[in-house]
Amino acid sequence: GRQWTSWIHIKDEVRAIRFLMENEKASGPFNLTAPHPVRNSDFSAALGKAMHRPVWLGTPAAFLRLVMKDMADELLLEGLNIIPERLLEEGFRFEFGYIEEAFRDLYSKRS
């Protein structure tokens, strides 16, 4: 649960793609992630709160390494702390910069 998770709300992703397509000086690769990555445990807690569901315990790292070998660390255990620096420098503003806001928007309509 300590690994970093980068995420983005679908509305911000669509807006960012449109923003980059309309911005002639923007070229090259851009990270389409929210500006505030979270630890996996915080992601799960926020999702559980938004869905009004209990948060399940994670899978032990030793088990993942046993089953997935070297890929466990690369894919599941280390995580990436990615910040959309270039996107922010170009002037894009996120509507949902924090995971709690994103989940509140996504799940409040379903209640």
| Rounded distance between C-alpha atoms, residue 104 and residue 36, angstroms | 16
Q: How many helices (H) and strands (E) does the chain have?
A: 6, 2
pLDDT in tens, 67-98: 666 665 655 556 678 899 999 999 999 999 99
Architecture of 4-108 per CATH?
3-Layer(aba) Sandwich (3.40)
Please give the chain's pLDDT, 111 residues, in tens.
677 888 999 999 999 999 999 999 999 999 999 999 998 888 888 988 998 888 776 655 665 566 666 665 655 556 678 899 999 999 999 999 999 999 999 998 754
Residues 47-68 as b or e (16 or more Cβ within 10 Å = b): beebeeeeeeeeeeeeebeeee
Report the predicted TM-score, pTM, of the whole model to 2 decimal places.
Answer: 0.78
| Rounded distance between C-alpha atoms, residue 54 and residue 44, angstroms | 9
